[in-house]
Structure 1
């Protein structure tokens, strides 16, 4: 289709390229523009400006796109259904748009073509993979350290309900994202080159370390895991997983034949992470030591 249109463009003068086109979506006005913005003149002839068409397509897609929402398990343990999203059907849109340029009409209208984007995780899948707990780990923190507690809670919520499909790799940094004050993270103690200092997001290494021990118990294949330069108190020696946005990441791969579900909570001074999957999964469990329930003395500069 595009090849045919291109051939026509190189041989014909566009009709009424000063007319306007109105874009509509589901009966609502989206955008009105002049045909001339999609046309370029070469000597006495007018041709489609494919760069402008591509830019307009990108702009319309950004305006209308709505991401799908996966099904989740809420705080009451009830499965909430996911929601489909929408995105522009780019190829159909460009074909219809260019066809409008050749129509000898004024005040043209184009209903924007959209595609439904269905969630990757629906209620049926979530029901299937939440039936069998294959790994878990609990660590403890001093809830009186408010800044650090807030950071732990935000990071824990970021990984909660995350599903890793067979063959997929989980990256803590990718899933949690950059730790910024705009996201609610606070300045709290972190360890840098063996020294205690302050940084935005201090404390989230307890979340990554708890997750590491939970998936390790479930026999999940660990790809990257780095220890702190100084021993931390919330996990046994050598059982931590340090992370930093511009530095180390914690990653693992699901080599099982079934999806894995992360359920993570941080409440009342405890980080609880559980790994679930289907009843059919064959797990190679691994024995790991539990974390100490003894909390360190309350300190403003508590290790991350």
Structure 2
């Protein structure tokens, strides 16, 4: 909150550019202007840079320049959406340029003082890694339970379009992140020490369990997987994968010589996870029992009694 307020104040206080200004342009557009007089540190009457002010200016510029790369992805219609490069301000270069300007004469124009950040997944890789389905799994939930359905959908979106390169490890907790109200997760039934209770993010374990069965069927290397303290209704006994932010995680590794793509969605009372790779991949699928199509007995927003649920 404090930095956002400071950034807004600095934007309002930006001086007008003159012939003696220090001007920063990004892709042809000016993003910042500085004047020498604003960064003086009085010392025996000689010009000296105020490092604290300069560092604050550089941090503010970074907040306007930096952006994370965006991977290519597959939309709901199956169309590949192109990747986008990111960028990171070259703070050392910009500081060096500013000091040259400060102790020199006249103004200075600095153009594109950033490093390009390439995305992990581009269109070419995504087109190849989607070619061959090597695993899949479907589980079912009561769509009338709106909070739980909402949480399931958020978690499925978080793992959708995830690409694991050869040797990479997938951690459900790291990929999905902490389940908080600030991220949109809602209270729903969870299992805590064998008992049902209400908690933010209830229903998440149905996504992790569906993912476990899909990657297990695809022959992936499972590193960590824990079961609930009681049976859950959406997968056969012993086929669940409980997760909790401060507790169990579901972790697996891609030991194949090709990248692997995870596709996931949750809609119409179904969680679907599929695993894909290059057409050239040779693998040994595992036998995994399917989930029951019988709708689990879950509470919805208008019901008072909880009969069954997954963990958060």
TM-score, normalization by structure 2:
0.83
What is the deviation of 1:244? Answer: 1.4
- Counterpart residue number, 1:165: 165
- Number of the residue aligned with 1:12: none
Aligned to 2:14: none
Distance in 1, matches of 2:215 and 2:64, equals: 39
Give the match for residue 205 of structure 1: 205
Distance 2:231 2:129 in 1: 35
Partner SS, residue 76 of structure 1: coil
Greater CA deviation, 60-69 or 191-200? Answer: 60-69
Alpha-carbon distance between aligned partners in 1 of 2:30 and 2:136, rounded to the nearest angstrom = 51
Aligned to 1:288: 288
Q: Size of the alignment, in residue pairs?
A: 285
3-state SS of 2:245 partner: coil
Change (3 A) 1:112 1:71: closer
In 1, Cα distance between equivalents of 2:299 and 2:45: 78
Q: Is the 8 A contact 1:93 1:112 kept in 2?
A: no
- Residues 46 and 221 of structure 1, relative CA distance in 2, 3 Å threshold: farther
Secondary structure of 2:274's counterpart equals strand
Q: Indicate how the Cα distance of structure 1 residues 191 and 36 shifts in structure 2: closer, same or farther if over 3 A, else same.
A: farther
Give, in whole Å, the separation in 2 of the partners of 1:147 and 1:292.
22
Matches within 5 A, 1:12-27: 21-27=22-28
1:44 CA drift (Å): 6.3
Bigger shift: 90-99 or 68-77? 90-99
Q: Per-residue deviation at 1:43?
A: 5.5
Structure 2, unpaired ranges of 5+: 1-19, 301-305
Task: State the match for 2:151 in structure 1.
Answer: 151
Structural mapping, 1:216-227, within 5 Å: 216-227=216-227
SS in 2 for 1:175: helix
Q: How do residues 116-195 of structure 1 correspond to structure 2 at under 5 angstroms?
A: 116-195=116-195
Is the counterpart of residue 303 in structure 1 residue 309 in structure 2? Answer: yes
Alignment-derived partner of residue 66 in structure 2: 65
Unpaired segments ≥5 residues, structure 1:
1-18
Q: 1:53 to 1:254 in 2, by over 3 A?
A: farther
Inter-CA distance 38–282: structure 2 relative to 1 (3 Å threshold): farther
Partner of 2:10: none
> Is contact 1:61–1:87 with CA below 8 Å preserved after alignment?
yes
Return 108-117 or 34-43, whichever deviates more.
34-43
Q: Secondary structure at the match of 1:93?
A: helix
Deviation at 1:192, TM superposition (A): 0.7
- In 1, are the aligned partners of 2:243 and 2:250 still within 8 Å (CA)? yes
Tell me how far apart the structure 1 counterparts of residues 197 and 262 of structure 2 sit (CA, whole Å).
Answer: 31
Work out whether residues 72 and 80 of structure 1, in 8 Å CA contact, stay in contact via their aligned partners in 2. Answer: yes
d(CA) in 2 for partners of 1:51, 1:283: 58
1:95 aligned residue: 96
Greater shift in the superposed pair: 270-279 or 246-255: 246-255
The alpha-carbon deviation at position 42 of structure 1 amounts to 5.7
- Is residue 215 of structure 1 aligned with residue 215 of structure 2? yes
CA positional deviation for 1:287: 1.4
- Provide the rounded CA distance (Å) in 1 between the counterparts of 2:221 and 2:279: 20
Residues 190-217 of structure 1, C-alpha deviation per residue, up to 9 Å, x if partnerless? Answer: 0111110011110010000100111111
Q: CA RMSD in A?
A: 2.2
Segment drifting more, 259-268 vs 35-44: 35-44
1:114 corresponding residue in structure 2: 114
**Structure 2 CA distance, aligned partners of 1:279 and 1:110?**
47
Residues of 2 paired with 1:40 and 1:254: CA distance?
55
Show CA shifts across 1:60-88 (max 9, x none).
22211122221111111121211222222
